[in-house]
Structure 1
Amino acid sequence: MANTKTLVDHDAIRDWAAARAGQPALSQPALGMGQAEPVLCFAFGQHAYLDTDEGADQIGGLEIIEWDDWFRIFDERQLALVVEEDVPGRREDFHELVRRPQQ
């Protein structure tokens, strides 16, 4: 696996997502899975740029949300974003949301 880095800075996360045509989103958990809270995620590609002026967008089970809302949940849950280091000529969209290390 390639080298990874951990992001918590909001601007760095927005830059990472923008470089991959990603937008902040929520995914609703499947019924009966024991998880009641929506899961933070990203919508990549053409689905990330559909017009959402008419309200929440439900693309493939994802709800595209505002960055402020995404970061509020991100900080409340004390999460960090693990991504692959950038390699010239490639834009990997591998990412994982993890709990921030205790300091």
Structure 2
Amino acid sequence: MTDTLTLTDHDAIRDWAAARAGQPAMSDAAPALQDAQTVLRIVFGQHAYQDTDTGPDRPDGVTIIEWDDWFRIFDERGLALVVADEPPGSRSEWHELVRRG
């Protein structure tokens, strides 16, 4: 398995996402889950380039949001972003949001 890095610093997370053209987003949890919360995500590719000037875009239930809003939820929930510790020149989009600690 590839080594991983755990990121909690907002600038480091924003830099990691920017290097991969990622955007902060959220999506609704599965309706079957009781007490379900909105799920934070970082989206890439076409999802990251949705035109949000004309209203909320929700392809596949995903809404692009501002980094400030994303980080507010990220900190409130005590989350960390786990990413692959890659060699220089690699740009894997693999990531996972986990609880800190």
Partner of 2:43: 43
In structure 1, the residue corresponding to 2:30 is in which secondary structure? Answer: coil
TM-score normalised per structure 1? 0.90
Kindly provide the amino acid, as one letter, of the partner of residue 67 in structure 1. Answer: W
Long gaps (5+) in structure 2? none
Spell out, residue by residue over 1:62-82, the C-alpha distance to the aligned partner (whole angstroms, 9 max, x if none): 111110100000000011101
1:51-70 matches, cutoff 5 A:
51-70=51-70
TM-score normalised per structure 2? 0.92
Partner of 1:88: 88
Partner of 2:10: 10
RMSD: 1.2
Identity over aligned residues, as a percent? 65
Change (3 A) 1:4 1:55: same
Structure 1 runs, 4 residues or longer, greater than 3 Å off: none
Spell out, residue by residue over 1:35-92, the C-alpha distance to the aligned partner (whole angstroms, 9 max, x if none): 4211001110122022211222202221111101000000000111010012223211
Partner of 1:99: 99
Q: Which has the higher strand share?
A: 1
Kindly provide the amino acid, as one letter, of the partner of residue 31 in structure 2. Answer: L
Question: Within 1, Cα distance between the matches of 2:45 and 2:78?
Answer: 27
Question: Within 1, Cα distance between the matches of 2:92 and 2:81?
Answer: 14
- Is 1:27 the equivalent of 2:27? yes
Question: Within 1, Cα distance between the matches of 2:32 and 2:47?
Answer: 27
